[in-house]
Structure 1
């Protein structure tokens, strides 16, 4: 192994010194460095030489960013970031100070991650929440559902402009007309504005609640998430096999807390009047009209009904 003295003697080698001077001269002639000098005329050549390693990193990062292969294959030393140089007066004169700054792709990725963290899904296909959305495509996909799409867009825009409302939406319509998709779009758009959201697929949620009878802590945590979320969506309400405990103690508790506080949204194949009949009947106690009405009193007054028309798109590309 070479000693420190040998290494130092190599650095003093005229050939190595000449090579170093050539590299320095080439770096000082880089367009990015010349532009830096124009913006900071106080910089002298010795200041640049002293900060040569920072200049080298700055130029190399900039070159790699100009030919970006994508965030996942970022070749920079700190993936998703690039070197930014500033000039600060430290001591007797100006010095180059380097900062690692996130690139636009990294910022977009961080924003997408933060949006996903605001959305909690119970039994809803995650692909419905993660796929890209295009407003033009949503509007043009089926002209029959255009009025419903316009109402959803209007709700989103009004919330962005004026803040969270206490009224939600009730999307009613036949199978496969895109009700869940529209609600996922609403959730995604408002999550980008900083709102938290929960979407619950009712048939599976009700079945899973039966197992929570033996786990009171999990039940409490689950219902608390639904109570506190800025936006709560009950997807496919009316398709579940209801029992009195779920209706009166779980659904009733959640909706009682949210009404006049935060908006709740629904998708259903039923109209509100038919849903009331569904909520009045349970497999255990049969028909209980007053209990169905009690729950409907926490739903109907707090939603605007949106009828979603269109053709069944399930199973289609």
Structure 2
């Protein structure tokens, strides 16, 4: 919609004055302006007349908001915002002051943007983090998942009520039962509460670490992020190809730093016994049981085990 300046721009002399008065009379009879005057009875016609451009903008914005086409198609001059009029005493005179206020959709977007800034993902499908979450759907999708889902819900609730502890969760189960989805949901919910989080897809992370050997600063920065975030999730632990260096000097260093400090979370297809065997074997050195046990000593005492039963959701969707 055109601004008042654009409407009057082409007019001069008597035409300008006549059109300006017609617009003012129309605005005075508008329910939006009548409501404004009820809220601010100190506003007389003379004061409104001297603030005609602001009044025109205010009414246009309110009309646009009343027929909101969505944030992306917002027709207001300042997208996602509307004009708000207030009175103030300036230099002993009553003045009509305009400010731009964010609408509810803009506020929701800003809040969501702040939540996303608290979450970092390494190699995880962004759809797992960006799709909407519905607790009823999460619980009702597969009744076999209910005990595990309840345990994750309980963890989220306890953190919101009492704060973080160094204890995390070890979520294991067969393929496609929703382990990554549940951990992403937990990350999103706790990001809303102000916590920072990182989720790492282990198979691709381990492959990428090979190239980081040549970029020491990138490796250092990545490890520091994982050490210091509030919540760290290692997704699909056990599906990666381990090297002794990665296991002992990268994964081991991260876990050694976080234990007794901050919670670490895991999803895996292995139970603890299977994971220990996996961590004990590398393609270079073969089986080294004591190395696997050493890493498990940094995992098992600091997590509650959650066995996720259920159907393969990927197969059923396909």
TM-score w.r.t. structure 1 length? Answer: 0.94
The offset of 1:91, in angstroms, is 2.6
2:19 & 2:290 partners in 1: Cα distance?
91
2:282 & 2:20 partners in 1: Cα distance?
84
Aligned length: 309
The offset of 1:41, in angstroms, is 1.8
1:166 & 1:67 partners in 2: Cα distance?
49
- Map 1:97-108 to 2 at 5 A: 97-108=97-108
Unaligned runs of 5+ in 2: 1-7
CA deviation profile, 1:53-111 (whole Å, cap 9, x unmatched)? 11111110000000000111000000110001111012343111000111111111111
The offset of 1:286, in angstroms, is 1.5
Unaligned runs of 5+ in 1: 1-6
CA deviation profile, 1:158-201 (whole Å, cap 9, x unmatched)? 11111122111000111111111100111111111111111111
Q: CA RMSD in A?
A: 1.5
The offset of 1:215, in angstroms, is 1.2
The offset of 1:123, in angstroms, is 1.0
Matched, 1:62 2:50: no
1:19 & 1:256 partners in 2: Cα distance?
76
Structure-1 residue corresponding to 2:234: 234
The offset of 1:203, in angstroms, is 1.0
Structure-2 residue corresponding to 1:88: 88
- Map 1:3-82 to 2 at 5 A: 11-13=12-14, 15-82=15-82
Structure-1 residue corresponding to 2:274: 274
Matched, 1:137 2:137: yes
- Map 1:223-302 to 2 at 5 A: 223-302=223-302
The offset of 1:294, in angstroms, is 1.0
Structure-2 residue corresponding to 1:120: 120
Structure-1 residue corresponding to 2:306: 306
Matched, 1:146 2:130: no
2:84 & 2:16 partners in 1: Cα distance?
29
1:278 & 1:115 partners in 2: Cα distance?
35
TM-score w.r.t. structure 2 length? Answer: 0.94
SS of the residue 2:183 aligns to: helix
Q: Which runs of 4+ in 1 moved over 3 A?
A: none
1:123 & 1:19 partners in 2: Cα distance?
61
SS of the residue 1:95 aligns to: strand
Structure-1 residue corresponding to 2:3: none
